[in-house]
Amino acid sequence: MGKKNKKEVLLQGNEAIVEGALRAGVKFFAGYPITPATEISEILSARLPQIGGTFIQMEDEIGSLAAVIGASLAGAKAMTATSGPGFSLMQENIGFAIMAEVPCVIVDCMRAGPSTGLPTSPSQGDVMQARWGTHGDHPIIVLCPSTVYECFKLTIFAFNFSERFRVPVILLVDEVVAHMRENVCIDDEEIEIVNRVKPSVPPEWYIPYEDTPSGVPPMANFGDGYRYHVTGLTHDIRGFPTTRPDEVDPLIRRLFRKISQNFRDVQIGESFQTEDADLCVIAYGCVARSAKRACIEARERGIKAGLLKLNTLWPFMRTEVEKILARSKIVIVPEMNMGQISREVKRVNKGTSKVFTINKIDGTPITPEEIFLKIKEVY
């Protein structure tokens, strides 16, 4: 707090996402206003032109992500922001960005659904859609903040992961976190900024989708003299469509490998008093805040409760969850949905712990009292 390079400001979650995006180097935003993500568009519409960036309000969310992909191919760090209905419209282009290996960031401020649902109410119903919304076998990185500072920090991480691995990265925010306000300290030197790797060979030697030890090929900007083909079809190392099994199989496996061999770097979480916990809560987003308060109250009453907060939802933090399951007899997974991450917890449990859920779908947050009552009930 006392460091000169730190600045404490009162920010809303969506405002912090904007600050994180600007710090990461965003230069292009295309989107369509939608509750509860509209503040991101509104602020960037003013801020981006001030730094030589570009803001476009598109006709819909399909066009929004298409424009973002085009801007990224041209070399700009690019993003969009939406909510559930718009996120549904983006799924085809998310698949295109995965196959064509186009870095971009997609913010989904979740609201209750299906369909138009409850536009101004919180939900965590898009967790599985973020993982499996677009068709086909594919890896994905999905980050989820539970504080305003994490909105800032994880937005930077989203851009860093996107640029490092040449993938679309989804920032999944529930409405409560998007609209809450907290004092946060922004440190100019705290978080490293990552940029995509550029080719180091002449244009005539460039192979746009070659395999590398990292699994990530260097990315040339359109307009820099490197001509190459981009398609959503399965393609060979030069980007041209192919159906040859000996070319398709290595491509898809490489798309997975560039993420899987870096699980430790992309999986972010936080443990609270889990070392000796007989009972552990696994939570994310605003529910993790309620869960922490409930665990503190449980400790005050002699119940050894702990919390594993998930900031990375996908790839699923299996290793950390398995550690919790191995040492806690009881696990509670509270979510503002009918059970999405809880299914992953149960999948890796293998009968070592008793897993209970709290599922709330009425458009209101899960409170510390509700989690504490569940702790007392099952302990």
C-alpha span between 324 and 347 (Å, rounded): 14
Of 307, 294, 21, 301, residue with least CA distance to 152: 21
Burial of 270 (0-12, 13-18, 19+ CB in 10 A): middle
List the chain pLDDT tens, one digit each, 379 residues: 344 556 789 999 999 999 999 999 999 999 999 999 999 999 999 999 999 999 999 999 999 999 999 999 999 999 999 999 999 999 999 999 999 999 999 999 999 999 999 999 999 999 999 999 999 999 999 999 999 999 999 999 999 999 999 999 999 999 999 999 999 988 766 789 999 999 999 999 999 999 999 999 999 999 999 999 999 999 999 999 999 999 999 999 999 999 999 999 999 999 999 999 999 999 999 999 999 999 999 999 999 999 999 999 999 999 999 999 999 999 999 999 999 999 999 999 988 899 999 999 999 999 999 999 999 999 9
Q: Report pTM.
A: 0.96
Rounded CA-CA distance 18/184 in Å is: 14
In which residue ranges of the chain is CATH 3.40.50.920 found? 270-309+316-378
The Cα 162–Cα 317 span in angstroms is 19
Q: CATH classification of 270-309+316-378 is 3.20.20.60, yes or no?
A: no
Amino acid letter, 93: N
Q: Sign of the C-alpha dihedral, residues 80, 83, 88, 89?
A: negative
Give ranges for CATH 3.40.50.970 in the chain. Answer: 6-187
DSSP state, residue 35: T
**Residue 31, beta-bridge partner list:** 57
Looking at domain 6-187, its CATH architecture is: 3-Layer(aba) Sandwich (3.40)
Cα–Cα dist 338/319, whole Å: 24
Phi, psi of 320 (to 5 degrees): -65, -40
